[in-house]
Amino acid sequence: MLKQTEGSHAVAEAVALCRPEVICAYPISPQTHIVEGLGEMVKSGDLKDCEFINVESEFAAMSVAIGSSATGARTYTATASQGLLFMVEAVYNASGLGLPIVMTVANRAIGAPINIWNDHSDSLSQRDCGWIQLFAETNQEALDLHIQAFKLAEELSLPVMVCMDGFILTHAYERVDIPTQEQVDAFLPPYEPRQVLDPAEPVSIGAMVGPEAFMEVRYLAHAKQMQALERIPQMAEEFQAVFGRAIGGLTHSYRTDDADTIVIAMGSVLGTIKDVVDEMRDAGEKIGVLGITSFRPFPIAAVAAALKHCKRFVVLEKSLAVGSGGIVATDVRMAVTGMGLKGYTVVAGLGGRAITKKSLHALFAKAGRGELEPVTFLDLDWQVVNRQLERERQTRRSGPAAESMLRDVGTVASKIA
């Protein structure tokens, strides 16, 4: 059913269609609307046989999820940014225990300085936590990926994060196609837990594992992710068979067939990039786009295959490995090891900084000319940065950097004495 709705609400409806049994909620922007929507559905009775629990923290949210999932309930929660970091210990624990929890991460920057806007720092900080991470490009993909996520999680007994850009997707009203309950039921079978806390067949879950078996346990976690690499594309096909939409998979190539330059990115920014690429193609540039849907497991082979015929690639990512450069770029570079490609890392859109077509045009053109620095910070205000660096060079007590720079920038927020 086609519907004009907010991204968060579309996701809430998709999650509800998956018949979750336990939902834990703790408010943090920009994820709030999703759990608000679900809470309303549980309270109204539209979503039956589901416990909606208002917990006291994200750490509790994930912990409650661990308990309910281990007891055989299909479990969902959502978070973002600081919330994800606050639950990190439990995030690792959920994957370590192999519990198929599905969690939406409404991607948002991490403080300090505190910032509620979108980038990918939160999810990418958890790249090694053992969860599958799927990035949605559109609201339609976001809602569809949740349906796939439950199936994938439960088949593999692994938790899945569905990452969607905070505000850009979560708060955007768009037309989406909401599937029917019959469609979802046809695609997603009831949860058959691999292990469950059950008095009829007691087990101890969460043993202490020493050096004699720990490596093996970790390898098995890795092996499961490798299985996911095979399962994710198949699932996209199965999904298409039921829902008639090509959603999911590991990567999406766009106009890459004869491209000399391929731009690689994740999430909603792909839309802007595709527009720019279309315009550059119209101008005769051989440029294409590779969108990564599955960041974990990282599709090394798929990325290598997609880049096989290009000359250069630009990884444009909404994240920063401070002191190193790109996070996604590092994985991409590993994927193309030995292929002799020129690669560029572009850090863009941190903390919600707009990524404009104009900037992208200039950026890609520069890349095409081979003039791009190995690591570029897109639209960085060098004047502000340099002034602050100078201040710090001159004065030991230069004061808080963020506030000083805000004063320089002169935005509304700077009017704090």
Residues forming the site for other proteins (CB under 8 A): 21-22, 24, 49-51, 53-57, 59-60, 63-73, 75, 89-90, 93, 96-98, 157, 194-199, 201-210, 212-214, 216-217, 220
Q: Which is nearer to other proteins, 48 or 393 (CB)?
A: 48
CB of 93 to other proteins, least distance (A): 5
Cα 187 to Cα 105: distance, rounded to the nearest angstrom: 23
Burial class (CB in 10 A: 0-12, 13-18, 19+), 110: buried
Which ranges of 283-381 does DSSP label H, i.e. alpha helix?
Answer: 300-306, 328-335, 357-368
The SS3 call for residue 46 is: coil
**What is the smallest separation between the CB atom of 130 and other proteins, expressed in angstroms?**
12
Q: In the chain, what's the furthest Cα-to-Cα distance?
A: 71
Q: How far is the CB of 192 from other proteins (least distance, A)?
A: 11
Tell me how far apart the alpha carbons of residues 302 and 308 are, in angstroms, rounded to a whole number: 10
Which is closer to other proteins, CB of 61 or CB of 162?
61
Q: Tell me whether residue 96 or residue 351 sits nearer to other proteins (CB atom).
A: 96
Q: Could you tell me the two tokens for 152?
A: 């994938």
C-beta closer to other proteins: residue 10 or 156: 156
Nearer to other proteins, 215 or 339 (CB): 215
CA angle, 318 then 319 then 325, to 5°: 125
For other proteins, the closer of residues 99 and 406 by Cβ is: 99
Buried b (16+ CB within 10 A) or exposed e, 237-260: eebeebbeeebbbbbbbbbbeebe
Per-residue b or e along 4-15, where b marks 16 or more CB atoms closer than 10 Å to that residue's CB:
ebbbbbbbbbbb
Peptide bond into 233 cis (omega under 30): no
Report how far residue 123's alpha carbon sits from residue 125's, in angstroms, rounded to the nearest whole number.
Answer: 5
Q: Which is nearer to other proteins, 58 or 317 (CB)?
A: 58
CB of 199 to other proteins, least distance (A): 5
Shortest distance (Å) from residue 365 CB to other proteins: 50
Q: From the CB of 212, what's the least distance to other proteins, in Å?
A: 8
Shortest separation between residue 159's beta carbon and other proteins, angstroms: 13
Q: Which is nearer to other proteins, 60 or 178 (CB)?
A: 60
Q: How far is the CB of 138 from other proteins (least distance, A)?
A: 32
How far apart, in Å, do the first and last CA atoms of the chain sit? 52
